[in-house]
Amino acid sequence: MSNTKILEFERPIVELEDKIRELKQLLSGDNEDMAAEIERLEVRASQLQKERYASLSPWEQLQLAKHPDRPYTLDYVSEMIDGFFELRGDRAFRDDPAIVGGIGYLGERRIMLIGHQKGRNTKENVLRNFGMARPEGYRKTQRLMRLAERFGLAVVCLIDTAGAYPGIGAEERGQAEAIAANLELMAGIKVPTISIVIGEGGSGGALAVGVTDRILMFEHSVYSVISPRGCASILWKNPEAEQSAAQQLRMTAIDLHNFGICDEIVPEAPGGAHRGLTETAATLKSALVRHLEALDALEVEERNELRYRKFREIGHLECS
């Protein structure tokens, strides 16, 4: 993917990579000195990248999670899923392009894959509503999950949304009820379920497809009950305080893993998923296959009991 936006903390790395590309274009014949300089710069760029991305602040992690070049659900479908057949509509109102879902093969296994989908340009984002689903989107996921349960298909959910759409029409059509129905369905579904936060996981819009046996997160993804901007607006009456909110919300993959909410942090390609889709997708595919095999080894009752315990233990408070 080509970078349409360079984040401030990426700039030194990108500038060094640009210099390496320029030198490679100038390299000709057996110019050993220039070849050695290119090799030295490549080592330096790799080292700088590892050091910088190992120490990102929560605010920088959020920027990376929302990077406009970051891969979306359909990008991972094209890399990981064979024979994907998209299923549309909620059989009640209409289709919601903010959520895509369908049947395909993950390796040798047939699964139901569901995920939020954003757009790459203004036209696509209007169509996809910036990945913010309406009630019909969540009712579509209910239909697809019931279909998966009927045919014994594991459900894999890719989470990437700022939240459920809060518009008047969505509220009139029962946004809260649709999300609640999803939570109830996923809590008791009898097939293996896995969710992976591939970008930003925001509020109930993310949770609606996140009540799963296993919750994975990409290393540069975020997952929170509210966006930092929304939090800052409510607590400090100042949307510009979102950097402080990002720090205090504890929304990074490392934070969620330490809290026991995230079961595994999935590594991304060096520099983030947007700089290496194929490598990142291969790592994700391997993790999904591994977790599905582990879930297959459990009886339905045992798997559902473990799922129940997992979510009952989230949010435990200790009062002094």
The domain limits of the chain are 8-55, 60-312
Q: What's the topology of domain 60-312?
A: 2-enoyl-CoA Hydratase; Chain A, domain 1 (3.90.226)
Whole-number pLDDT of residue 1? 41
- Helix (H), strand (E), coil (C) string for 81-123: EEEEEECCCCCCCCCCCCEEEEEEEECCEEEEEEEECCCCCHH
For residue 164, count other CB atoms closer than 10 A to its CB.
25
Q: What is the pLDDT of residues 130-187, one digit of tens each?
A: 999 999 999 999 999 999 999 999 999 999 999 999 999 999 999 999 999 999 999 9
For residue 247, count other CB atoms closer than 10 A to its CB.
15
H/E run at residue 199? strand 193-202
Q: Per-residue pLDDT averaged across 221-249, rounded? A: 88
2: pLDDT strictly greater than 50: no
111: pLDDT strictly greater than 80: yes
28: pLDDT strictly greater than 70: no
* 3-class DSSP assignment, residue 246: helix
- The amino acid sitting at 64 is L
Among 7-16, 163-172, 190-199, the least confident range: 7-16
Q: Per-residue pLDDT averaged across 72-91, rounded? A: 96
Whole-number pLDDT of residue 30? 67
Residue 298, Cβ density class (10 Å: 0-12 exposed, 13-18 middle, ≥19 buried):
middle
- The amino acid sitting at 255 is D
CA dihedral 60→162→253→271, nearest 10 degrees, is -50
Q: The whole model's pTM is what?
A: 0.89
